[in-house]
Structure 1
């Protein structure tokens, strides 16, 4: 089958199209013929050799964490009735025509949800919903979403808005800010401009936001923390800045800000599957609209990575095997 391999750590050019053996389902597994594969920023970091202490990936490997497609084969112990079903599947090796997935990492697609829409929710839908479980928002709250035009950020804007919160969206560039406004943000701020965090505080009357979701990480995440009011909540989940956001515990305690590093929490498979089903149900009823910025043929995976690293993507990038 056709697949993309990372033969060595490096830039987007190390993503090479190759013919590899078709995968075979083992006990408790299925083979999924992918129609759309998810691409996330973490893929670009791992390809470059980052995060080995957290994600022990070694070349050669097929990147990608899954996608949407049709079950074409089942392994021992799996009901053959799965064959032919449209599913969303998590697992390794998603940049390929076919992938193997464990049966407990499958969710059947509602009939009204298409391939690309489903694939766009595979990771970011779970992330957005799990973040709101970490820090629930309610009507009347003021919520900052940083990296608001990203895959998870664009979903957080929609979910917080539908909960009745006042949403401040931070992103880089007018194109991304316009998208955030279209999705329901009440206030938008360009975090490419110096002092942007002070404009966020000004928009709250100087008090700061009740909840901040940091999808950026690194130094930018520290500026996101500065926007949180006394007694507020700060949730970080981004690494687009090249690393995690480190917050001084003493400073957080002084301001009585509750700090949560969502990247330090690994959801078990049952919880992930529950959140996947919830995200798909929201999409089926139009409560969530994944923003798909670009779809690329599988052989052009390097283009998707290049655009993500250049911060040129407003919304999701997907691969079409």
Structure 2
């Protein structure tokens, strides 16, 4: 097998494409021949030693992937050789093969492409957990999605529309705003051209959104929170802009609003049955055509460093997927 090996987490340039012995699965594990692996923001952080999870060196980055089971370890009964699966295991994806815990593998129904599957779990699980579970979103409510043209943002638009909500999508270019409209957004805000608070006020008739979905953080957090509606729920999803914002606590007091943390990974670990039910619902929505990952482009696995550079430039709309 071949894999992109991180022996020193000093950045993308330190990654090396190496030939390694193909491992065999242990108890509770499967060997997967990887057909597609998506690039997520944590994949950028983990090779710079900036992510909360710090795997033992050397490691193969690539948190999310899809492929075909080649071998099963002792005690694995729910998966079979030749079966297509998707997996989000945190590492191992940027390779031709990987070992994964069978419990983390999502069996793929017929018609679920490997490219879509590799781009599916993280963005839809995060957005469903955020909007449905943490925000308790109701039909007719208004959701403001920041960073709306990115992976989790595009998933959030689609899920909010399935839930019957009105969506305001905020993004950094007119082209990204057009993409959001094509996904069902009812209104868009280009926050490099428009004053965010003024635009939110105009789009909500002065009421403010009931739910704000924020995977960006940085400078937009405070003006967005100042615009939230009465009893609003502000979803803290991530900090793609870099800086972690500090909000004055008089703001939630004045709006009767909640600041709600969204940590899907720990939800999946602590509440596995609820997570499994959620993933089943998401797979059904995909089969029904209600949700579908936005694929910015596919690139050969050998071009991983170019893919990282493209992602770092903030030019990605939806998800980047590497293919073998």
What range is the shorter-chain TM-score in? over 0.9
After TM superposition, give the deviation of residue 243 of structure 1 in Å: 4.0
After TM superposition, give the deviation of residue 101 of structure 1 in Å: 1.4
CA distance in 1, matches of 2:47, 2:249: 32
User: Residues 166, 67 of structure 1: CA spacing in aligned structure 2 closer, same or farther, 3 A cutoff?
Assistant: same
**TM-score normalized with structure 2 length:** 0.92
CA distance in 1, matches of 2:11, 2:265: 28
CA distance in 2, matches of 1:55, 1:260: 22
Residue of structure 2 equivalent to 1:278 = 281
3-state SS, counterpart of residue 266 of structure 1: helix
Residue of structure 1 equivalent to 2:321 = 318
Encode CA deviations 1:223-267: one digit per residue, 9 max, x unaligned: 332331222110011221114443333432232111112138712
Residue of structure 2 equivalent to 1:289 = 292
Structure 1 consecutive aligned stretches of length 4 or more whose deviation exceeds 4 Å? none
Deviates further, 210-219 or 55-64 = 55-64
Instruction: Say if 2:66 and 2:114, in contact at 8 Å, map to a contact too.
Output: yes
Residue of structure 2 equivalent to 1:67 = 65
After TM superposition, give the deviation of residue 24 of structure 1 in Å: 2.0
Residue of structure 2 equivalent to 1:147 = 147
User: Residues 182, 264 of structure 1: CA spacing in aligned structure 2 closer, same or farther, 3 A cutoff?
Assistant: closer
CA distance in 2, matches of 1:144, 1:191: 13
Instruction: Give the total of aligned pairs.
Output: 319
CA distance in 1, matches of 2:78, 2:173: 50
- Structure 2 runs not aligned, ≥5 long: none
**TM-score normalized with structure 1 length:** 0.93
Residue of structure 2 equivalent to 1:308 = 311
Residue of structure 1 equivalent to 2:20 = 20
CA distance in 2, matches of 1:265, 1:244: 19
CA distance in 2, matches of 1:56, 1:94: 16
User: Residues 80, 126 of structure 1: CA spacing in aligned structure 2 closer, same or farther, 3 A cutoff?
Assistant: closer
CA distance in 2, matches of 1:37, 1:276: 19
Residue of structure 2 equivalent to 1:257 = 257
3-state SS, counterpart of residue 210 of structure 2: strand
After TM superposition, give the deviation of residue 161 of structure 1 in Å: 1.7
Q: Quick one: higher RCO (CA 8 Å, sep 6+), 1 or 2?
A: 1
Instruction: Say if 2:38 and 2:65, in contact at 8 Å, map to a contact too.
Output: yes
Deviates further, 57-66 or 36-45 = 57-66
CA distance in 2, matches of 1:66, 1:139: 31
